[in-house]
Amino acid sequence: MQRTAEDPFALFEAWMAEAATTEANDPNAMAVATATPQGAPAVRILLLKGLDERGFVFYSHDNGRKGGELAANPRAALCFHWKTQGRQIRVEGPIERVTAAEADAYFATRAKMSRVGAWASKQSTPLDSRATLEAAVATAAARFPDETVPRPDHWGGFRCVPTSIEFWRDMPFRLHERRVFHRGPEGWAIEMLYP
């Protein structure tokens, strides 16, 4: 491994900008993998909603399965895959909570019914019928008749603070290019991996 002055966040942003020109839907979609305290894995697709030098941000309910797993085992792995670009990026690291101010600011940008839905949904718990969910949405919408819908306490954000970021490019004959940035106390180091 060698130390590098190259910034993996800048490289990520460049790849994301290119993906935004070719991906028909949600170039910011990523697989988010978590695990229970016993090590049982779970993965789902979420949307990246923020990125800076601190890490990769996504939002969700605290009391759903994902939130419970992150509370018990605050580590995650993310994977972005852009087939049209022949690229993927893998991110691994610990999870920290975003501040209430950050969560409030993002929540306010969501469509009103998405904000209402955050109040109505008991994420990841059993639901007896679609009608029950629709009734809960109607109740929440009546509670917040105007555009002001505050963020519920059970809804917030998570930041994956990367310890490693791998950039993968499709190459002929499956001889793919893999570069991994590893974060250390003195900055980033980089290594190449066999495909």
Domains of the chain (ranges, CATH numbers) = 2-108+153-193 (2.30.110.10)
Backbone angles phi, psi at 27, to 5 degrees: -60, -15
State the Cα angle at 39 between 33 and 41, rounded to 5°: 30
Candidates 93, 89, 80; CA nearest to 158 is 93
Q: For residues 71 and 86, what is the distance between their CA atoms, to the nearest angstrom? A: 34
17-52 residue pLDDT tens: 999 999 889 999 999 999 998 999 999 999 999 999
Candidates 88, 68, 66; CA nearest to 79 is 88
Q: What's the chain's average pLDDT?
A: 94
Contact 76, 160 (CB under 8 A): yes
Residue 1's pLDDT band (boundaries 50, 70, 90)?
Answer: low
Which are the catalytic amino acids? 174
Q: For residues 21 and 75, what is the distance between their CA atoms, to the nearest angstrom? A: 31
**C-alpha dist (Å) from residue 37 to 31, 41, 174:** 20, 10, 36
Token pair, residue 164, equals 């490693």
